[in-house]
């Protein structure tokens, strides 16, 4: 046995406390008259925006935007199959990135007091520089696991020299036609409600495949 090709997979993951929360809210109003409906939506959205601007100035929000404004009308039907008078609707979607969990809790409690405002999502994540650094460390650790596995296989075969030929994200080595969908770098919240106002731990992981030659 002069030379053997060894193909292995390496995985690694770590947990990091979330640093930011991307929040999306929708201001929605409706009524029988278009003008007052639109005006009420604009006023309530302006109030929400004022709060975001205040948090931006204090450094508790890194960015915010008003992404979408919609105005439409429809004629609902009652239980007897009769069409009712025209109803007008207006909605404004806003999003913001909070860097302070306490400020987020306060702000959500404030906006939730209005029936016109719905919190549609709170997505926890890492700051960009933190994410990049953690992903690099996790990727390097996954490669090291693959190297150690290849070395263990080679040792079991009585071979001493192990040389890496290919390293790729899971599923990308051409010879693995039956591989599952590639598992790339990911960051997700640990188990628990997505609307938790305490930053959850995020799981950052990587899976790689490596091909080695042992002799």
Render pLDDT for 116-157 as a digit per residue (tens, 0 to 9): 999 998 999 999 999 999 999 999 999 999 999 999 999 999
Q: How far apart are CA 79 and CA 55, in angstroms?
A: 46
- Span between the terminal Cα atoms of the chain, in Å: 8
CA 98 to each of CA 32, 78, 170, 208: distance values in angstroms, whole numbers, following the listed order? 36, 43, 33, 33
DSSP 157: T
Render pLDDT for 156-199 as a digit per residue (tens, 0 to 9): 999 988 999 999 988 888 654 444 433 444 444 443 444 446 88
All residues at 6 or more sequence positions from 198 whose CB lies less than 8 Å from its CB, including other chains: 101
- pLDDT of 2 strictly over 80: no
| pTM of model > 0.85 | no
φ and ψ of 214, to 5 deg: -115, 140
- The domain ranges of the chain are 4-17+128-214, 20-76+84-124
pLDDT averaged over every residue in the chain: 87
Tokens 């913001």 identify what position?
96
Q: How far apart are CA 142 and CA 185, in angstroms?
A: 11
Distant-in-sequence contacts of 56-64, Cβ < 8 A, 24+ apart:
58/103, 59/99, 59/100, 60/98, 60/99, 60/100, 60/103, 60/104, 61/96, 61/97, 61/98, 61/99, 61/103, 62/20, 62/97, 62/98, 62/99, 63/96, 63/97, 64/94, 64/95, 64/96, 64/97
CATH topology of domain 20-76+84-124: Alpha-Beta Plaits (3.30.70)
Residues 53, 57, 59, 62, CA torsion sign: positive
Looking at domain 4-17+128-214, its CATH superfamily turns out to be Protein of unknown function (DUF541), domain 1 (3.30.110.170)
């Amino acid at each position: 046995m002069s030379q053997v090709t060894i193909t292995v997979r390496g995985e690694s993951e770590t947990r990091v406390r979330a640093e930011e929360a991307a929040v999306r809210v929708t201001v929605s109003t409706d009524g029988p008259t278009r003008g007052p409906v639109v005006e009420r939506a604009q006023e309530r959205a302006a109030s929400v925006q004022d709060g975001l601007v205040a948090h931006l100035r204090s450094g508790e929000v890194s960015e915010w935007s008003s992404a979408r404004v919609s105005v439409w009308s429809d004629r609902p039907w009652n239980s007897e199959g009769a069409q009712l008078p025209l109803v007008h609707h207006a909605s404004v979607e806003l999003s913001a990135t909070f860097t302070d969990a306490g400020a987020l809790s306060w702000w959500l409690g404030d906006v939730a007091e209005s029936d016109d405002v719905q919190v549609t999502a709170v997505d926890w994540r890492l700051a960009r520089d933190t994410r990049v650094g953690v992903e690099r460390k996790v990727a390097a650790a996954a490669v090291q696991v693959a190297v150690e596995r290849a070395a263990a296989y080679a040792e079991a075969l009585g071979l001493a020299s192990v040389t890496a030929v290919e390293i790729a994200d899971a599923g990308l080595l051409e010879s693995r036609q039956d591989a599952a969908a590639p598992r790339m770098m990911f960051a997700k919240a640990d188990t628990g409600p997505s609307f938790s106002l305490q930053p959850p731990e995020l799981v950052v992981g990587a899976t790689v495949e490596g091909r080695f030659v042992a002799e």
